[in-house]
Structure 1
Amino acid sequence: MRFNKKFTLITLIALSTLITGCSGEQAEKEQDKNKEEPIYRVPVEATKVKIGAISNTYNTTAVLEARAESKVTNKVSGMIEKILVEEGMLVNKGDVLAEIDSENYLLELERATIDLESAIAEFNRSKPVNGRQLVAAKDFEKLEFAVKSRRNQQKVAQIQVRDTKVRAPISGIIAERMVKEGNMTANPGGVMFSIVALETLQGVVYLPESEINNIHIGQQAFLQFPSTQQAIPASIALISPIIDTDSGTFKVTLNVENNDYTLKPGMFARVSLTLDKRENAQLVPLKAILVTDTETSLFVVEDNKAKKLTVETGYEENGFVELLSPIDPDTPIITVGQQSLKVGTEVKVVGQADSSNKLN
């Protein structure tokens, strides 16, 4: 009987200890559950809307051409006695470039002059004297025509003598010399020199049909060349009224001032043509924009969470894009890290204080 009582007492003590231990573990688990676990936030970079001006700029390429160019030809043939210019020299309109042997042409002029003087003398002798006609009227007319014919022959001879001196038809730079002293010229019409006018060059560009109402004569453009970092100003001089049906473009000619002759025909240029400009536009970095086949969007930060906004964009320039769908200027716009985000993702803006991650 004593044994049973002792056994019962030991059993009760053991059960009490077991129950107490279980209660302690349960309490610890409940306490752990009450502790707030830290929330992981995706680090991102963000900025705010910038208010400023933005332009619609059309970029294309062009090759410079001389606005005025001349192929200087010989009008008479003969031995080239002198060449007075070389390639690269600046000449003015009317300057003598070369001289062709003129001896034969001077003799021809002398003969034509003698023939003219003889015809004039005979004509004068045949004039009426004291009202009396010395020759028949028909013969007198022939003498009059002979004087006119000899005078024209003299003028032709004078022109040939003049043309033995080859002159520049325009002002410009000697771009090429095709002849040498002591050589015979080819038949009249052979090219001797090439002259290009460098004060004003031109570049031809082709714009899409949609831009035809956005340009006008005198509108400014800028050209950049591989040889210089400086943007060279140009202006629209001509606008073709015809749309090419194959390419859907129209021709625009730009004038480029070149008073210091630093630019040369044939140079390749990158052309920037400003078609329109908007002031006080909402601008965001281009890298913030996400473009898919169905929408254009960006992510903003709202209550430490990523929120996706579908937007409409306008002009792009210098790494910024215009927002046509206005947003709150104080809303942080995610610029880095948005590619992997989903709507509602917890985010942390790098460089911005955040106390929401602290344990309670």
Structure 2
Amino acid sequence: MNVNSFKELESKHVLVTGGAGFIGSNLAEKLIDLGAHVVCLDNFATGHRRNLNRLINNERFKLIEGDIRDLETCKKACEGIDFVLHEAALGSVPRSLKDPITSNDVNVGGFLNMLVAAKEANVKRFVYAASSSTYGDSKALPKEEDNIGKPLSPYAITKYVNELYADIFHNAYDLDTVGLRYFNVFGRKQDPNGAYAAVIPKFVMQLMAHESPVINGDGNFSRDFTYIDNVVQMNLLALTVKDSKALNQIYNTAFGERTTLNELVVALKKNLCKFDTKIADIDPTYGENRAGDIPHSLASVDKAKRLLGYAPEYDIQEGLQEAVTWYWENLSDKK
């Protein structure tokens, strides 16, 4: 990523909600490296203080511990802010199926609070994390932004409602927004623990512990796994794009290739064997399909390339190599 492309962010004030989370903390670090002033708003429900270790003593970094469900906290966080990167949310389809009310309170109520606070603070641009789950039961591949189906989970509904609210706030209040539909983001600092851990860090930790990774279904479901640095690039492009036609749009944030879960396990084993050859002998086990899961996900990134100048730098293999090395160096007890 060419840092010089984003020099205009130097000295700008950027609020990152969910800034102690996986994606948010990576965004905050990149913004600090670019010379921006960063405010992080997080309630640490799913984020971690350790993710802020590189930032916490930087004079251009400020932490506000608070909840986006509280409007006054959102207003305080938006004071003096030029740009908002809204990453705070309760992720996970299974979590939303188990507890739809809390997912809705955070993902819809909290999102609306942030829009109101940003509008009142005259924020220049509001970039937010949307989701590939919005495509729902649409069978079309690759997924194109204007062709969605019916949502398959409460989580998917909340993320679609975010897009609708963002559109209203542009039309009614002239707040510029950009929504980024994330496709299965992975990479350094993604939490491998907990009931709703994402598949890649979960599988990595199981393999490092010489345990069999558990695949839901027969392993032929596929995903457009997207390395974190591609996502950081998309966010920076969304913050800095000048063409007004590129604003108030939704963009797929992905690489544009799909990988089955069976292929994923093979690739993870190959990378981990560089550190521990015994992992080659571990085979996955198979369970039931997970409720609310879509069979296949593949993004078209043509719109992002055309309007934002998006040029993803990491394919799945390059991303996995980086991610596995990070997990081994930071979380393995065998290194």
Q: TM-score, normalised by structure 1?
A: 0.17
Give the greater-gyration-radius structure (CA): 1
Q: TM-score, normalised by structure 2?
A: 0.18
Higher helix share: 2
Higher strand share: 1
